[in-house]
Homo-oligomer: A and B are copies of this chain.
Amino acid sequence: MAMRIPDDLVEKGKTKIVLVVMDGLGGLPDPTTGKTELESAETPNLDALARTAALGQIMPVGVGITSGSGPGHLALFGYDPLVWNIGRGVLSGLGVGFPLEPGDVATRLNFATVDGAGNIVDRRAGRPSDDENRRLVSLLREKVKAPDGVQVFFESEKEHRLALVVRGKGLSADLHDTDPQQTGVPPLRVQALSPVAEASARVVQDVLDQACAALKDEAKANAVLARGFAEYAAYPTFLERFKLRALAIAQYPMYRGVARLVGMEIQPPPASVDGVVEALKERWNDFDFFFLHFKYPDSRGEDGDFGAKMKAIENVDRLIPGITVLKPDVLLVTGDHSTPARWKAHSWHPSPLLVASPWTRPAGASGFGERECAVHGELGTFLSKDLMTLALAHAGRLAKFGA
Give how many A residues have a beta carbon under 8 Å from the other chain's beta carbons. 73
Q: Is A169 an interface residue (CB 8 A)?
A: no
Chain B residues with CB under 8 A of A401: 60-61, 65-68, 71, 81
CA distance A391 to B64 in the complex (A): 8
Given A375-B376, A401-B81, A393 contacting B348 (CB threshold 8 A): yes
CA distance A340 to B391 in the complex (A): 18
Q: Is A350 an interface residue (CB 8 A)?
A: yes
Q: Is A308 an interface residue (CB 8 A)?
A: no
Stretch at the interface among A2-10, A145-153, A206-214, A272-280: A2-10
Given A57-B380, A348-B390, A374-B361, A66 contacting B29 (CB threshold 8 A): no
Chain B residues with CB under 8 A of A167: none
Chain B residues with CB under 8 A of A69: 403
Chain B residues with CB under 8 A of A379: 63, 381
Say whether A400 contacts B86, CB under 8 Å.
no
Interface string of A222-260 (1 = CB under 8 A from B): 000001100000000000000000000000000000000
Q: How many copies does the complex hold?
A: 2
Instruction: Say whether chain A's binding surface is mostly helix, strand, loop, or mixed.
Output: loop
In residues 346-376 of chain A, which contact B (Cβ within 8 Å)?
346-350, 359-364, 370-371, 374-376
Say whether A371 contacts B361, CB under 8 Å.
yes
- Give residues in A with beta carbon < 8 Å to B: 2-3, 5-6, 9, 28-29, 34, 36, 57, 60-72, 81-82, 85-88, 91, 108, 227-228, 340, 343, 345-350, 359-364, 370-371, 374-383, 386-387, 389-394, 398-403
